[in-house]
Structure 1
């Protein structure tokens, strides 16, 4: 077997691999000898089929397997010897397309090698972590929000007309062409006007109604309504308004706390304080991580595989195009060409991705089975009732597993760098932290717009 270098330009590599006919023949004989004890053929005892007959019967098929194994073995031996790691799947093609049995097998292999990534001293990184205290004012604001969400409705004054945000208690019967239909009637139904919980146009026709009024509501069911027998049809609802109620925030007391699963108001405040502290911590970490990535991008430089940058730029451009054209669901659209800004962002992502991957490899950072299971469980919650199918899909889909694993791995590498970096803490207000987070989001939007 011979491997001859044909290209060595930057990260681009090219090799011509020759597997001699004798090596290939030996590989075929080896595979047939290995299989011989289990072969059964009419006229021969099991394991006693002559080699010549085996070769005549199975040689052609085994030859293909031997060729593939020989080339794969040559590639593996090459990567082990050189230490090269291809950025993407190597391109491999036979150079003697007119090959026939008895000829050497000649293959051309080309790829882009992953670059050598320089070491750097993480202790030289200077970062600043924002810290925010979950103070009483923030807790009180959260309590007021909970009280609003847990609002009660109280009868308005006699003769009051229903407005947006009011709750009307109604009896109604629906009919199409004078015939009542199944599921079109209810009694004492509490409907909040403006909630959008009923068919479009229904709630608007109850505005101005008073307790005791009879109102006929006429609406058209949407063309895509889930009940096919009603879709696109006009319906009339005979409604009797039994009460008009205005919303009133729930009292901030022990009863409110119990509605949210706490023993009393003080326990609820404690839960809110913990939740706010966790939210502030997550936001501060996002800001700190951006600081880190910006410094790494500035301080660490190395050659990038053009194929990775091109693939990333194309993906960015394609994703942003679909975000700007949400009505296009498939990929039947004009060719999308990356801009210079897309290429710059792609270079940053590839550089940081390779750097973090190398740091993780050198420091033997791995995603545990428990962490992966938790990630799958978190994702499965988005598909209620289909959790088992989602688990099976992830198990059978390596690409999906990689998508779930990648952010966990990245965060573990980032935490590893945080442990070595020089991080100072700065106490800031909730508003200052929020402004810093909004600036991160604005930068993302500007990148998308570009």
Structure 2
């Protein structure tokens, strides 16, 4: 077997080989002999099946196994010549060329390697910045909002028309073209006006109604409504307003603070304000990180840290973008691409620069995670998915299984690693204002 190796750069290499028919025959003979020990063939005792019978019965499979063994040998010998350990390989080797001829097989194997990345003084790429400052007025506004959320609805002391913020106690009955539809009616339903609980336009028309008034509310269901029978349809609701309740917010005093801080040692109003301020500071810093600092830092890292990229990883990223683009194209556009290799390649090339940046960013984050000792376990991924599902009122296990079956867990884990790494680096640069 003749082997020729070429280390293109630190992330890519090629192995060319000429596999003789003699090598394939030798491999086939060896595999056939091993198979005689375990194969069951009618008319022969186990372990006593002649090699010729095994060859006749399993000929094509034996040939494939013999060629596969030769390819493994090509790869192993090529890696030895290149002085590359197998743990540096990324993905499966790509059989770029596999030509059978009279003498044997001409094969070219392309391999991708984990690139060597010099992160340099990456922390110096981040400029010092000040934490956002939360003033007392902002705290007071948040405190007022909290008190409002803890308020209670009570009957009006003085009769007036309904307005946003009120709880309107209504009967309603919905119909389309004069026909009542399922789920479109209720008695003495408490609707908080301005909450956008009902479809657009409904609550706006209840505003201004008086107790005892009956009104026909005309609305149109959104095109993307959950029911096909209702989506995009014009509907009428007969609405009767029985009562109006206004919201009386909770008094902001020590008793209110004690209720909000139940279970804590310090239940004073002063401590409640301090905790609100700390929460708002955390939210403001997170917004600054996510909207500005993290994207800017990642962009700086990608621009500053240069290294060779594994070609096949870039090609895979291009394919992902291409498939996404194709999913939004018409059948005629897709047909045109299938019929023109030049147009298809031209379209693929439009994604190359973004693909390279994406792959570069992924390797940089992976290296930074090692340098910063940042890890995200499978359990953390599961907990994150469970929490988000519960926040949206979904079944956590169903959501997790959906992501798992779709193969999205590694991408979610990588996204969490990126978030942790960039946050950790930025935290080291924060300064109190």
TM interval, shorter chain, is 0.7 to 0.9
Aligned twin of 1:427: 432
Which of 271, 274, 279 in structure 2 is aligned with 1:275?
279
Aligned twin of 1:391: 400
Aligned twin of 1:214: 214
Q: CA RMSD in A?
A: 4.6
Equivalent positions of 1:22-421 (< 5 A) are 22-79=22-79, 81-82=81-82, 83=84, 90-97=93-100, 103-110=103-110, 115-118=115-118, 120-122=120-122, 127-132=127-132, 136-156=136-156, 158=158, 160-174=160-174, 183-219=183-219, 226=226, 237-253=237-253, 262=262, 266=269, 268-269=272-273, 271-283=275-287, 289=294, 292-293=297-298, 296-297=301-302, 299-304=304-309, 330-332=328-330, 348-360=357-369, 367-378=376-387, 380-381=389-390, 384-396=393-405, 399-411=407-419, 413-414=421-422
* Separation (CA, whole Å) in 2 of partners of 1:232 and 1:293: 43
Residues 214 and 370 of structure 1: CA distance in aligned 2, closer, same or farther (over 3 Å): closer
- Report the secondary structure of 1:37's partner residue: coil
* Separation (CA, whole Å) in 1 of partners of 2:390 and 2:80: 43
- Report the secondary structure of 1:63's partner residue: helix
Q: Do 2:15 and 2:75's aligned partners in 1 also have CA atoms closer than 8 Å?
A: no
- Report the secondary structure of 2:15's partner residue: strand
Point out the more displaced range, 114-123 or 141-150: 114-123
* Separation (CA, whole Å) in 2 of partners of 1:236 and 1:169: 18
Residues 199 and 81 of structure 1: CA distance in aligned 2, closer, same or farther (over 3 Å): same
Residues 381 and 59 of structure 1: CA distance in aligned 2, closer, same or farther (over 3 Å): farther
Q: Do 1:131 and 1:426's aligned partners in 2 also have CA atoms closer than 8 Å?
A: yes
What's the CA shift for 1:64?
0.7
What's the CA shift for 1:146?
1.9
Q: TM-score, normalised by structure 2?
A: 0.72
What whole-Å deviation, never above 9, does each CA across 1:288-308 have from its counterpart, x for those lacking one? 655654554464334455666
- Report the secondary structure of 1:38's partner residue: coil
Name the count of aligned residue pairs: 413
* Separation (CA, whole Å) in 1 of partners of 2:221 and 2:420: 51
Show structure 2 runs of 5+ residues with no match: 334-343
What whole-Å deviation, never above 9, does each CA across 1:272-331 have from its counterpart, x for those lacking one? 345334334535655665565455446433445566667667877998xx8xxxxx9744
* Separation (CA, whole Å) in 1 of partners of 2:112 and 2:210: 75
- Report the secondary structure of 1:244's partner residue: strand
Aligned twin of 2:2: 2
What's the CA shift for 1:403?
0.1
